[in-house]
């Protein structure tokens, strides 16, 4: 009887020790916002040469884990970036009382990835990254405990355009 219990305990310990660790980045939020120069357009038509787009990217990290963002690809183009310090949630755009919630309230750590522009030439993607870039609008690579991970967003949510005056 003791031998069967010992074998069962050893088997259970083996299973739990070999189970994969769950990556700490739980969610990514990706937004695109057009910036239109001059006055607010009267219709929906805008001059494509004058329209600029900016992106807002956020990642949510569980617990006290420390990750290092290593790359950002949007529509298969590589971007230079910096990472903000930890943000308080919810993250809103606009007025505090009636703004758009970009990241809901969470107990996780939330960081904003601020883009500095495209980088040419872009680093060459490996097979896995290349496949992810073809099927997702945004791919972020990060390292955690010496291993490389990816988090993706299939689409980018559109925000109301910003009218520059």
41: in domain: no
Q: Compute the distance between CA of residue 28 and CA of residue 34 in angstroms, rounded to an integer.
A: 20
Tokens of 67: 């990750």
61: in domain: yes
Structural domain including 142 reads 55-158
- The confidence score (pLDDT) of residue 99 equals 81
pLDDT in tens, 96-105: 777 899 999 9
3: in domain: no
46: in domain: no
9: in domain: no
Q: Compute the distance between CA of residue 6 and CA of residue 125 in angstroms, rounded to an integer.
A: 47
- The confidence score (pLDDT) of residue 19 equals 38
Region 41-65: mean pLDDT is 76
- Picking from 124, 152, 128, 132, the residue whose alpha carbon sits closest to that of residue 140 is 152
131: in domain: yes
Q: How many CB atoms lie within 10 A of CB 41?
A: 12
29: in domain: no
pLDDT in tens, 114-162: 999 998 877 777 889 989 999 999 999 999 999 999 999 999 999 988 7
Q: Can the peptide bond before residue 90 be classed as cis, meaning omega within 30 degrees of 0?
A: yes
For the chain, the domain total comes to: 1
């Amino acid at each position: 009887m003791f031998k069967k219990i010992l074998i069962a305990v050893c088997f259970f310990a083996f299973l739990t020790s070999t189970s994969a660790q769950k990556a700490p980045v739980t969610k990514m939020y990706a937004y695109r916002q057009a910036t239109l120069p001059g006055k607010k357009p009267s219709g929906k038509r805008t001059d494509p040469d004058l329209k600029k787009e900016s992106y807002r990217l956020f990642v949510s990290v569980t617990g006290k884990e420390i990750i290092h963002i290593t790359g950002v690809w949007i529509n298969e183009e590589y971007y230079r970036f910096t990472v903000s310090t930890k943000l308080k949630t919810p993250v809103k755009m606009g007025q505090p009382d009636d703004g758009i919630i970009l990241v809901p309230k969470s107990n996780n750590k939330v960081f904003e990835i601020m883009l500095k522009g495209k980088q040419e030439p872009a680093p060459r993607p490996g097979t896995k990254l290349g496949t992810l870039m073809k099927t997702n609008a945004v791919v972020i690579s990060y390292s955690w405990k010496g291993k490389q991970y990816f988090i993706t967003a299939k689409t980018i949510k559109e925000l109301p355009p910003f009218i520059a005056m």
